[in-house]
Amino acid sequence: MKTHALKTIVLPVCILASGLLSTGLAQADMDEHSSRQNEDRHVASIMATHGVMAGDVKSHSAVIWARAQAESWMHVMLQGEGGKSIHQRIKVTGQRDFTGKVKFTKLHADTDYEYSVWFSNSKHAEQEVEKTQGRFHTAPNKNKARALSFAWGGDLAGQNVCRDTEQGFPIFNALNDMNLDFFIGLGDMIYADSTCTEQGKYGNTQIDGGYEKSANMTNYWAHWKYNHEDASYQKMLASMPYYAIWDDHEVANDFGPLNDTRSSAPYTAGEHLLPMGLQAFLDYNPIDESADQPKRLYRTVRWGKHFELFVLDTRQYRDANVEADDATLKKTMLGREQLTWLKEKLKSSDATWKMVVSSVPISIPTGSNATVKGRDGWSGFEQQTGFEQELKELFSFMRDEGINNSIWVTTDVHFAEVFRYTPFSSTPEFKVHEFVTGPLNAGLYPNRDFDTSWGTESLFFYGPESMFSTKSYDDALKWMNYGAVEIDENGVMSISVRDVNGKTLYEQTMYPE
């Protein structure tokens, strides 16, 4: 996090928990003094189990997340300079696995905040209890040219490459050593359709997950809890804003609304997994759930003059992968409503850099058994079952509207690659860059193929020779990676791919047009 002097005045909040969002301003406690005395005689502290997070942080709002070990009151104290603070609480129940979220509003832009979270059986509890601390910095207003530093990554604990008994998830140590404004969790941050056993894929000793593939809420929640038990991961999430989006493995491999059932054990044939996976994702991430669109995940975040983030939901609205992709059928990954929203937001944005978060890559072929089941990413490759027509429509719109300085960041494929695209030969000045990273900690599946129909240039590749060439956990670690971005006050961007130790593997400096 960037260091700034605290200048905070903390103001009212909105509260999210048990699937509900209060849109009114929270009020100070007005209960009778005698009632408080009676309740406090039986006060008990309840343990916070999985750290804290501040998410969907904007210029004037933030969502604080935590989880308790049992039904209780979640207390949050948000603090600024001079001891000014505000205390709010919400009841957490088993309906959402004892997770809770509190939304603070009317915050000051470009300002440091610190917060404390604790749980109690009393909504009035003010006794000395163990509290979990966190901090975040709000986004600058859109007209402020401030330097910015952040990172992104995805693919965590997949293919039985899980928490090492000695090192946990090592990559978060490197991220904790950086001075970041925020982190983007770019999908596959659990593998609900996989398990973690004592012996890992690459032979190391791991912490056993103790869960099955997720066919019910208990196992979906268990996957999230396992990953969030990692100490270095908790440390990172408590120290900076976190923006989360899902990909397929938060539910099941290559899922969509028309492909979210599985028939083999432990699944129940015909039972839809999307609703369970989505609920668990919302329960275990600091998503700002909207009262009128509680399941909507796509959103934007503006961070000062030079940067705007466009977070896409590539899973919830897609047509079936197996369908043919042609101009007549108008196959969609985003759904027409999200695509229209994206066009409008890109067109209206005056940010220097426009970063699109897509959980699936543009030109790398993805999709298991694609010949039968179709492609899962944007490009159809030889199967012609991707979502190229929709992406061409978007790129055409961007070109025609003069939307430049577009960077796409993706994960999903478990190796790193950097691409430059010139989608239209008639207008070679229009270009799009894509930075693919990952995994944070998962199996390795290098693939040098990519679709050339976008005027594709591969600028950098980082991965083992083949999926079979990695023989040990130490060997696997050197291929783990993430992406990092720095933008200076003049809008010059430096974007890099970094290894598990934070070493820069590739770096590109980009100047705004």
pLDDT tens, position by position, 250-287:
999 999 999 999 999 999 999 999 999 999 999 999 99
Across the chain, what does the average pLDDT equal? Answer: 92
Quick one: how many helices (H) and strands (E) in the chain? 9, 23
Asked if the model's pLDDT at residue 31 lies above 60, the reply is no
Range of the domain at 77: 13-137
Report how far apart the first and last C-alpha atoms of the chain are (Å, whole number).
28
Residue 333 lies in a domain: yes
Q: Given this model, what pLDDT does residue 329 score?
A: 80
439 prior amide bond cis, ω within 30: yes
**Same domain, residue pair 504 and 413:** yes
Residue 292 lies in a domain: yes
Q: Are 484 and 496 in contact (CB under 8 A)?
A: yes
Average pLDDT over residues 35-44: 55
**Same domain, residue pair 436 and 348:** yes
Asked if the model's pLDDT at residue 75 lies above 50, the reply is yes
Confidence of residue 459 (pLDDT cuts 50, 70, 90): very high
Q: Give the CATH number, domain containing residue 94.
A: 2.60.40.10
Cα gap 441→261, rounded to integer Å: 27
**Same domain, residue pair 223 and 254:** yes
What 3-state class would DSSP assign to 389?
helix
DSSP state for residue 164 in the 8-state scheme: B
Q: How far is CA 37 from CA 31, 43, 91, 453, in A?
A: 11, 10, 20, 71
- Split into its structural domains, the chain has a count of 2
Cα gap 246→207, rounded to integer Å: 24
Vertex 487, ends 481 and 491: CA angle to 5°?
A: 145
**Could you identify the residue written with the tokens 């603090």?**
79
Q: What percentage of the chain exceeds 70 in pLDDT?
A: 90
Residue 171 lies in a domain: yes
Q: Given this model, what pLDDT does residue 383 score?
A: 87
- Per-residue tokens: 464: 């083992």
Q: How far is CA 198 from CA 71, 160, 479, in A?
A: 31, 9, 22
Residue 5 lies in a domain: no
The count of other CB atoms within 10 Å of the CB of residue 99 is 27
What 3-state class would DSSP assign to 502?
coil
Residue 217 lies in a domain: yes
- In this structure, of 17-31, 108-122, 294-308, 330-344, the range with the lowest mean pLDDT score is 17-31
**Same domain, residue pair 431 and 391:** yes
CA-closest candidate to residue 307, choices 490, 113, 107: 490
Confidence of residue 122 (pLDDT cuts 50, 70, 90): confident
Asked if the model's pLDDT at residue 7 lies above 50, the reply is no
**Same domain, residue pair 259 and 119:** no
DSSP state for residue 308 in the 8-state scheme: E
Residue 143 lies in a domain: no
Strands (E), 181-294: 182-186, 241-245
**Same domain, residue pair 368 and 249:** yes
Q: Given this model, what pLDDT does residue 23 score?
A: 27
Residue 2 lies in a domain: no
The most confident of the ranges 42-51, 72-81, 187-196 is: 187-196
Asked if the model's pLDDT at residue 6 lies above 90, the reply is no
Asked if the model's pLDDT at residue 24 lies above 60, the reply is no
Cα gap 224→236, rounded to integer Å: 16
398-453 pLDDT per residue, tens: 999 999 999 999 999 999 999 999 999 999 999 999 999 999 999 999 999 999 99
CA-closest candidate to residue 260, choices 212, 196, 336, 192: 192
Asked if the model's pLDDT at residue 156 lies above 50, the reply is yes
User: Can you spell out the DSSP letters for 424-492?
Assistant: -TT-TT--EEEEE---SBS----------TTTEEEEEEES-SSTT---SHHHHHTT-EEEEEEE-TT--
Residues 6 or more apart in contact with residue 37 via CB below 8 angstroms: none
- In this structure, of 15-29, 135-149, 364-378, 415-429, the range with the lowest mean pLDDT score is 15-29
Q: Who has greater pLDDT, 6 or 42?
A: 42
Q: Given this model, what pLDDT does residue 81 score?
A: 60
**Same domain, residue pair 499 and 423:** yes
**Same domain, residue pair 379 and 470:** yes
**Same domain, residue pair 321 and 424:** yes
Asked if the model's pLDDT at residue 9 lies above 80, the reply is no
DSSP state for residue 501 in the 8-state scheme: T
Q: Given this model, what pLDDT does residue 44 score?
A: 75
**Same domain, residue pair 235 and 133:** no
Average pLDDT over residues 292-310: 98
**Residue that is last in its domain, among 110, 137, 164:** 137
Residue 320 lies in a domain: yes
**Same domain, residue pair 131 and 153:** no
Strands (E), 69-170: 72-79, 85-92, 99-104, 112-120, 132-137, 148-153
Q: Given this model, what pLDDT does residue 25 score?
A: 28
Confidence of residue 328 (pLDDT cuts 50, 70, 90): confident
Q: Give the CATH number, domain containing residue 228.
A: 3.60.21.70
Q: Given this model, what pLDDT does residue 80 score?
A: 67
**Same domain, residue pair 182 and 207:** yes
- Per-residue tokens: 454: 């976008």
